Structure 1
Amino acid sequence: MKVFDRQAILASLDIEQAVLRLEEGFVAFSEGRVQVPPVQAFAFPHANGDCCIKSAYLEGSETFTVKVSTGFYDNPGKGLESNDGMMLVFCARTGAPLGLLADGGWLTCIRTALAGRIVARLLAPSRVEAIGMLGTGMQARLQLAHLMPVTACRELVVWGRDPARLEAYRGFARTLGFNVRVASKPQEVAQAANLIVCATPSREPLLQAAWIRPGTHVTALGADSVGKQELDPALVGMAQRIIVDSAAQCSQYGEVSHALEAGLIERAQLVELGAVLAGQAPGREHDDQVTLADLTGVAIQDAQIAQCAWASLQR
């Protein structure tokens, strides 16, 4: 079995190929051509951390993937990254372990960021006046960087809880060419931006329905396990298009789960991203729509990004 570290993976991964692989995976998932066992999840309240184990196999693929991913959100105060983990790539013909991708959680972060890029391409308004970012961590950085190929907007409004990390994020965004405004509260982000990304581990709503402008698109990433929430359920209820990575998973613990429980939406309103990519359902239909993407993270993303990285490392 070969072992590759984060540096080797970073140097070799073809981002544009990864986008295509992820889109292929979302379509296959929605068409029922993917094996995805139930997610194993651990919670460590004493350490403000969590861990999940995800695995997936796309029918016809030469490999399958098992991933361990951790998020310990007090780590930055200890000089450590919030996210860590690794992916194991196995041969789908023999079951032999082929490679350990010791990426430190980076592949999980990048596949999530690229999913944000994909939904922004499909759902963002035709004229993005400003990008709003809730969060200042690695995912918030990657989301911003990977929005750049799909929107010409370089106006950013960002909110975060930690002043030092917020200032560091401002500097990062400026190096990318953004004009940056720091918000003192999430409401300011909602009132200024019509493309909003929520990338926090929050356990209570940060965005309220009353703050959202007509025509806004919101990508919510944080509710990737039970107990997490970034959006007011009424905000989900007001969205005219609700796109999810997995209808089943999002109904269990995504942002839409809270709106379903409150009776604000019906399960039939949920449209999987794979169906939109396959042309079986529309994305944004006009610029006055409020649209929402609830991305809880599905294991086929891990399988596809791992296979893409594995292929690149063999060259």
Structure 2
Amino acid sequence: MMKIITLEQIKGALPKIDLISSIEEGFVAYSGGRATVPPVGELLLDRGEVHIKYGYISGEPYYVIKIASGFSENSSLGLPSGNGMMLLFSQMTGELISLLLDEGYLTEIRTAVAGAIAAKYLAPSTVNKIGIVGTGMQGRLQLKYLQSIINCTEVLVWGRSEENLSRFKAEIGKEKFHIDTTLDASRIMRECNLIVTATSAKDPVLFSSDLQPGTHITAMGSDTPEKQELDPDILKKADLVVADSIPQCLLRGEIFKAIQAGAIRQENLTELGSIISGTTKGRTSNGQITVADLTGVAVQDIKIASGVYQAL
């Protein structure tokens, strides 16, 4: 019998799951050729966008179809910007096993976990200050999951308005972080050696002229061909450019934009799953500049949806 899982139940199940290890396994399966992940389905609407991601991992019991939407102007209506659900099916019979009414929450969580994983393998050994570009939910969640990976409490946050920055500081400042805020994005580049971008920008926010040696940048926000957070020359200057999915990043995200601009070439890319498995090298010195372009891969949805179902 198909099981309907509510958002409240999902939130109760998540602490029972080792999300870092589980999603690492998903990335390794993907880069190792054990996952089938078709191209992203996409609806671009006047006021928002809808992404459909789906796939399966060989040898596991389920396949997953995920629908997730983002409507950035919803805050003016008092509504969350994200919504959606995940459907869990049996690989053996095609039976619908579970409907996870997550309202986009699991997408937010698995995205933040991926950011923490990228930092685990690519950040310098000593992080002096964390830079967060963006004041939305994803910026908050990135800090939450970085806590278990990075021993640093100094944080600089960039936003487009003092109101948004004040709200972010009021909410996150209650935790263990020391939060400073800025309207000047160049400060993030000058002062922070671990930077996470989480905006819906369509033009670069960070520029190579401010890039410091030893910096790691995880770009989370550019998940469509239209979006861009980084100056392509940042990727050109990087010693290592990492994709969650090379085929997907050739069609969307910072890598797509940088290749279009002639700043980098496909043969210079590596995948996060290959670094996790040890097949390829990640950061090899604290002086390296590294960039991870994470556009979101269905294996993350497969692992988190399966984990929630099995935990309940």
TM-score w.r.t. structure 2 length? 0.97
The aligned counterpart of 2:214 is 215
Matches within 5 A, 1:132-171: 132-171=131-170
**Residue deviations 1:83-135 (CA, integer Å, cap 9, x gap):** 11100001111111011100110110111100001010111111111000011
Contact map agreement 2:17 2:311 (CA 8 A) in 1:
no
Count of paired positions: 311
3-state DSSP of counterpart to 2:241: strand
Contact map agreement 2:222 2:295 (CA 8 A) in 1:
yes
The aligned counterpart of 2:198 is 199
Matched letter for residue 240 of structure 1: D
CA distance in 1, matches of 2:94, 2:147: 39
After TM superposition, give the deviation of residue 79 of structure 1 in Å: 0.9
CA distance in 1, matches of 2:83, 2:161: 21
Identity %: 41
CA distance in 1, matches of 2:162, 2:91: 47
Matches within 5 A, 1:238-277: 238-277=237-276
3-state DSSP of counterpart to 1:206: coil
Moved more, 253-262 or 68-77: 253-262
After TM superposition, give the deviation of residue 14 of structure 1 in Å: 3.7
**Residue deviations 1:40-78 (CA, integer Å, cap 9, x gap):** 101113x1x110111010001111100000000011121
After TM superposition, give the deviation of residue 16 of structure 1 in Å: 5.1
The aligned counterpart of 2:23 is 22
Moved more, 289-298 or 27-36: 27-36
CA distance in 2, matches of 1:306, 1:34: 15
- Structure 1 runs of 4+ off > 4 angstroms? none
Contact map agreement 1:76 1:82 (CA 8 A) in 2:
yes
CA distance in 2, matches of 1:93, 1:71: 32
CA distance in 2, matches of 1:121, 1:188: 24
CA distance in 2, matches of 1:190, 1:15: 36
CA distance in 1, matches of 2:231, 2:17: 34
TM-score w.r.t. structure 1 length? 0.97
After TM superposition, give the deviation of residue 305 of structure 1 in Å: 0.8
Matches within 5 A, 1:15-164: 17-45=18-46, 47=47, 49-164=48-163
Gaps of 5+ in 2: none
3-state DSSP of counterpart to 2:200: coil
Gaps of 5+ in 1: none
After TM superposition, give the deviation of residue 28 of structure 1 in Å: 0.9
Contact map agreement 1:55 1:65 (CA 8 A) in 2:
yes
**Residue deviations 1:17-51 (CA, integer Å, cap 9, x gap):** 22212111111111111111221101113x1x110
The aligned counterpart of 1:308 is 307
After TM superposition, give the deviation of residue 177 of structure 1 in Å: 1.3
After TM superposition, give the deviation of residue 225 of structure 1 in Å: 1.0
Matched letter for residue 187 of structure 1: S
CA distance in 1, matches of 2:278, 2:171: 36
Matched letter for residue 225 of structure 1: T
Matched letter for residue 106 of structure 1: Y
The aligned counterpart of 1:181 is 180
Moved more, 95-104 or 260-269: 260-269
Asked if 1:283 corresponds to 2:282, the answer is yes
Contact map agreement 1:14 1:312 (CA 8 A) in 2:
no
**Residue deviations 1:188-214 (CA, integer Å, cap 9, x gap):** 111111100000011000000011111
Matched letter for residue 76 of structure 1: S
When the two chains are superposed, the root-mean-square deviation of aligned CA atoms in Å is 1.0
CA distance in 1, matches of 2:264, 2:225: 19
CA distance in 1, matches of 2:175, 2:285: 29
The aligned counterpart of 2:9 is 8
Contact map agreement 1:145 1:176 (CA 8 A) in 2:
no
Contact map agreement 1:197 1:219 (CA 8 A) in 2:
yes
**Residue deviations 1:226-272 (CA, integer Å, cap 9, x gap):** 20000000011111011110011111111011111222111111100
Matched letter for residue 287 of structure 1: N
CA distance in 1, matches of 2:83, 2:272: 26
Moved more, 8-17 or 190-199: 8-17
CA distance in 1, matches of 2:101, 2:294: 24
Matched letter for residue 31 of structure 1: G
After TM superposition, give the deviation of residue 169 of structure 1 in Å: 0.6
Matched letter for residue 7 of structure 1: E
Contact map agreement 2:243 2:292 (CA 8 A) in 1:
yes
After TM superposition, give the deviation of residue 149 of structure 1 in Å: 0.8
